[in-house]
Structure 1
Amino acid sequence: MALNDTQQAEFLTLVSGHVSDAMEILGIKRSVLTNFICLGSNHARMVGTAFTIRQRAKSSVTPKDEPLVRHAEVSGGLAGKGEVVVVDIGGRTDVVSWGEFHTYKCLLNGVTGVLINGATRDAPQIRDSGMTVMVKGLSPIKSRWDLETAEINGPVTIDGVGIRPGDVIFGDETGVVVVPQERIDDVLAKAKEIRDFEDGERDAAMAKLHG
């Protein structure tokens, strides 16, 4: 189930530090991903509920030219409004499971971001598209010759962090936080308190620096 419009707007007033701190204070298991490349505008961020796809290496008996990857179906309409597409290819960065035209299709379908445990191509075009896409690496090589889709919209694990369809993915240039779907309201409320406190601290510091 997607975030409602109010939740979506309120999350976008936050940064990953607010969300991470809120989860720590509430005693929720740490679910943070770091060292991703953020392809997006300055101060880019993304938030939405996870729609997952898991890719794996093709079987040795599968013909190399037989296309068995299905991420085009995900970008073409399986993932929709308010969702973040999560593509898990096990962290491989030699071949890609994303590109410019998948990004455009997602924008047309209301997808709010993309998280790839792997690589993409077309980095400049994606950066200019307006969509925030977070990746482990970059490569020009398509995945159709090397990978096949194992599962669509099932649970995945990235760097030890479990992600279920419907969990909230919040990402910015600092990192990615996965919020359990059962705790969305609790985390959002606490994160807003932290934001408000930090805004006051920032205003006071700026007044002293520039007053």
Structure 2
Amino acid sequence: MNLDELEADREIDPNAPLSLPEKEICDRYEKVFTAAVNDALREKRLTNQTLPNGLVPLRERMRSAGFAFTIKGAKNLTLKNEMAERARMLDDIPEDSFIVWDTSLDRDSAHWGECMTMAAQRKNCRGAVVDGGVRDTDQVIDLGFPLWVRYRSSNGMLGRFRISAWQTPIQMGDVIVRPGDLIFADIDGALCVPRQMAVDILIRAEELANGESELKQWIKEGMSAVEIVERGGYF
């Protein structure tokens, strides 16, 4: 059995060079919107890049983009060294990252809270999408940290859930997320852009966003839907 190509596909370098600085890429993504990015991905036949629809922002105006720092974990009652492993993970978060946390569909624990938020912000992390729960919600909101979660709970992880790995490929819903992929999230949810396509998708999303402004102007001018489509517009 030859799995070399599959292994290479799963182990893309999270620090592979890009044609623009990472911070500029993130900042420019945050000036568009996920629908435009999604449409740009669809043009490249990437139609399954949206993270599960149940992941919603703590506040409607939250919007953030960054490069995936992946975390994997599952229900686990073992306590030994759990906090030490968690601390190692937090210390490994790089600047301009966006945490993507696969909880193996755990629906009991709060995986994110105030102290994790403070630790992530100190590392200049740009946001997090956690397929699980949050606690200390008031404090997280006050800290202004962009966070997408499924639910809220007072149940801390310790003795209920354990992190098993980080910076490894994960799967959330239909989407495989590799460390270093571009994550962008707003009120309409979160999506993943493969790292090697992050700049091309950004440029096309900016074009689509600008084109939508023109389309809205046509509508305001009273142009019919058929005329708009004939001019290359869409609805």
TMscore range, shorter length: 0.7 to 0.9
Q: What is the aligned-residue RMSD (CA, Å)?
A: 2.0
Between 1:178-187 and 1:194-203, the stretch displaced more is 194-203
Structure 1 unaligned residues grouped into runs of 5+: none
- Give the corresponding residue for 1:134: 148
Which of 143, 161, 180 is the matching residue for 1:147? 161
Q: Structure 1 CA distance, aligned partners of 2:220 and 2:189?
A: 25
Q: Which amino acid aligns with 1:43?
A: R
Structure 1 stretch displaced more, 131-140 or 197-206: 197-206
The CA distance in 1 between the partners of 2:153 and 2:30, in whole Å, is: 30
Native 8 Å contact 2:48 2:174 kept in 1: no
Residue in structure 2 matched with residue 114 of structure 1 by the alignment: 128
Computing the radius of gyration from Cα coordinates, the structure with the larger value is 2
Kindly state the Cα deviation for residue 22 of structure 1 after the two structures are TM-superposed.
0.4
Q: Which residue of 2 aligns with 1:20?
A: 38
Q: CA–CA distance in 2 between the matches of 1:58 and 1:121?
A: 19
Name the CA distance, whole Å, in 2 between partners of 1:206 and 1:44. Answer: 29
Which residue is 1:82 aligned to?
96
Match of 1:48 in 2: 66
Larger % of strand: which? 1
Deviation beyond 6 Å, 4+ runs, structure 1: none
Indicate the residue corresponding to 2:191 in structure 1.
177
Number of the residue aligned with 2:50: 32
CA distance in 2, matches of 1:192, 1:125: 34
Matched, 1:11 2:29: yes
Q: Is the 8 A contact 1:93 1:139 kept in 2?
A: no
CA distance, structure 1, for counterparts of residue 32 and residue 154 of structure 2 = 34
State the shift of 1:170 in Å.
0.5
CA 1:136–1:91: 2 relative to 1, 3 Å: farther
**3-state SS of paired residue (2:176):** strand
Equivalent in the alignment of 1:156? 170
SS in 1 for 2:57: strand
What's the CA shift for 1:28? Answer: 2.1
SS of the equivalent of 1:92 reads coil
User: Unaligned regions of 5+ residues in structure 2, if any?
Assistant: 1-14, 223-235
- For 1:153, the aligned partner's letter is Q
- Give the share of equivalent positions with the same residue, in percent: 23
CA distance in 1, matches of 2:139, 2:100: 19
Mapped partners of 1:124, 1:15: distance in 2: 26
TM-score normalized by the length of structure 1: 0.87
Letter in 2 for 1:92: D
Letter in 2 for 1:83: S
| Number of aligned positions between the proteins | 202
TM-score, length basis structure 2 = 0.79
